[in-house]
């Protein structure tokens, strides 16, 4: 059995107070689609009665007393997100990365090889061997402290923040060969579900 990684907080991608339109009217119930802030789990949540939500809002979904969420309905695939949730996802992922910039800068500062032929940095969109070498050379001089510093020190590479956001969204879509930021459960779902 696969051990599922659980998020304690999630960010709202879409709030459907009347439920999904494709569900028969007599079975519809309020629903929140969200993404976890630690493991980027895509979730459908059942809100408590009279709770309201803003897009991008951070909500507690852990095991203790939840203020706005009654229970977690299920983990979902990217394809099950509403159009609103899909369009909101890159913005919310960017906010999560910025709020946890130490974790993601640490990736740039410590990423190593996946195999004798490929480096983790090369799995990022638009990062090739030349960009990889530039990142490694600069981080050996001094580890990166912020995304702004990365942008100023690395003149010829794409925006390092946007590259990470694109990689996480690519993983959530199931379009990646290597999964560095999203949970094992998503691989389990890809194979079984």
- Average model confidence (pLDDT) across the chain: 91
Q: What is the pLDDT of residue 3?
A: 53
Residue 62 lies in a domain: yes
- Do 62 and 14 belong together in one domain? yes
Among residues 53, 81, 109, the one where a domain terminates is 81
Q: How confident is the model over 7-61, as pLDDT tens digits?
A: 999 999 999 999 988 888 888 999 999 999 999 999 999 999 999 999 999 999 9
Q: Which candidate, 29, 111, 103, places its Cα nearest to that of 70?
A: 29
**Predicted confidence band of residue 5 (pLDDT cuts 50, 70, 90):** confident
- Do 131 and 178 belong together in one domain? yes
- Do 104 and 184 belong together in one domain? yes
Residue 88 lies in a domain: no
Q: How confident is the model over 56-88, as pLDDT tens digits?
A: 999 999 999 999 999 999 999 999 999 999 999
Range of the domain at 145: 100-192
- Do 55 and 138 belong together in one domain? no
**Predicted confidence band of residue 155 (pLDDT cuts 50, 70, 90):** confident
Give the span between the Cα atoms of 173 and 71, in whole angstroms: 24
Q: What is the pLDDT of residue 4?
A: 62
Residue 95 lies in a domain: no
Q: How many domains does the chain have?
A: 2
Whether 141 has a pLDDT exceeding 90, the answer reads yes
């Amino acid at each position: 059995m696969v051990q599922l990684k659980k998020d304690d907080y999630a960010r709202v991608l879409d709030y459907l107070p009347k439920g999904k339109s494709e569900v028969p009217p007599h079975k519809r119930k309020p629903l929140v689609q969200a993404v976890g802030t630690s493991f980027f789990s895509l979730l459908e949540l059942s809100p408590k009665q009279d709770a309201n939500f803003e897009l991008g809002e951070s909500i507690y979904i852990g095991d203790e007393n939840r203020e706005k969420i009654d229970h977690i309905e299920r983990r979902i695939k990217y394809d099950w997100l509403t159009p609103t949730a899909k369009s909101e996802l890159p913005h919310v992922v960017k906010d999560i990365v910025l709020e946890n910039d130490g974790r993601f800068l640490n990736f740039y500062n410590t990423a190593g090889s996946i195999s004798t032929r490929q480096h983790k940095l090369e799995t990022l969109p638009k990062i090739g061997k030349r960009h990889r070498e530039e990142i490694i050379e600069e981080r050996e001089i001094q580890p990166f402290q912020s995304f702004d510093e990365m942008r100023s020190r690395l003149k010829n590479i794409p925006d390092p923040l946007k590259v990470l956001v694109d990689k996480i969204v690519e993983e959530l879509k199931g379009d990646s060969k290597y999964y560095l930021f999203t949970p094992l459960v998503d691989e389990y779902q890809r194979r079984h579900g």
